[in-house]
Amino acid sequence: MLAELLTAGEVVVLSGAGISTESGIPDYRGPSGASRRHTPMTYQTFVGDPAARRRYWARSYVGWRAMTRAAPNSGHHAVARLQRRGLVAGVVTQNVDGLHQAGGARAVVELHGSLHHVICLSCGDSTSREELDRRLAEANPQFGARATAVNPDGDVELGDAEADGFQVVGCRACDGGVLKPDVVFFGETVPAGRVRECFALVERARLLLVLGSSLTVMSGRRFVLHAAKLGIPVAIVNQGPTRGDKYATLAVDAPLGTALPELVRLVDTRAAAAGSPEPI
């Protein structure tokens, strides 16, 4: 049924943390259970508490190494293949890991930003995370904490004693401004222009395909509500129920690493039967 829905094309994908779990990055609320043990950093705490900000950067410094080792999985590659076939017109991801792009997807809208970039809260200067990582390594030559598991937002669990001695660096462009990952923290607002871009994608879609999101928070669920209001069909593939199920034409409860390659196989089989050429 899902393969049949996709064949009309003009599909917009809305992906969540569940598509990256098989790359070793846990989700907040799904089967990996990250929500039961991890409290994410809020924007208010990051900005207002220098000690908490230092501990965050210590955890993120360790977590960045685990994030850079994460590779796109079969689910990411499946989305890219559907896009190359011309069926997926756009990808909106709630993830900050960059794995859709690494898996070959193009023109991905990163709703919550990207861990691969860092911004200065004082002057707005943007730099790469790789550059910041080199600076942090130079400032903390004796720091030897190791990650046991990475959290969905790219940091890890560390004891306060490990993190309190970590040295944070400031912005080079304005000589000391506070640096922050270019991601939307809890309590922070997604840039309005980015939200408008996502709504516009949904409005042009024939189908909104939700992959690996429980749709618990309004940040992603609003696009499902918007599609339903406009009469645009919604299909959901996720492990476990979602808050968008009642709006869905079809909901598939399955791991994405298994379901999406099978979906691609079915789509390709239908295309071959219709004499459609293979995607590049």
d(CA 102, CA 112): 17
**Chunked mean pLDDT (size 10), the chain, 280 residues:** 94 97 78 55 94 92 87 97 96 96 96 97 97 97 76 72 87 95 94 98 98 96 98 97 97 95 94 71
**How far apart are the C-alpha atoms of 50 and 215, rounded to whole Å?**
32
Phi (first) and psi of residue 22, to 5 degrees: -80, 0
Q: Please count the other Cβ atoms lying within 10 Å of the Cβ belonging to residue 176.
A: 12
Q: pTM for the complete prediction?
A: 0.91
Residues 6+ apart with CB under 8 A from 210: 13, 14, 15, 16, 220, 224, 234, 235, 236, 237, 238, 242, 244, 248
The reported pLDDT for the residue numbered 279 is: 60
pLDDT at position 28 is 64
Please tell me the predicted confidence (pLDDT) of residue 181: 96
Beta-carbon count within 10 A of 128 CB: 11
116 tagged catalytic: no
- In Å, how far are 215, 217, 236, 271 from 243, measured between CA atoms? 5, 9, 11, 33
What is the pLDDT at residue 148? 62
pLDDT of residue 36: 45
Using DSSP, how many helices (H) and how many strands (E) does the chain show?
Answer: 10, 9
pLDDT at 260: 97
Predicted pLDDT at 162: 76
CA distances in angstroms from 120 to 59, 131, 132, 232, listed in the order given: 19, 14, 12, 39
What's residue 30's pLDDT?
55
- Pick the catalytic residue: 76, 77, 100, 112? 112
Q: Which tokens in the block code for residue 206?
A: 């024939």
CA 105 to CA 250: how far, in whole Å? Answer: 24
Note the pLDDT of residue 29.
56
pLDDT confidence of residue 271: 82
Which region holds residue 150: left if phi is over 0, alpha if psi is between -120 and 50, else beta?
Answer: beta
The pLDDT score that the predictor gives to residue 35 is 46
Q: Residue 5's closest CA among 241, 234, 259, 261?
A: 234
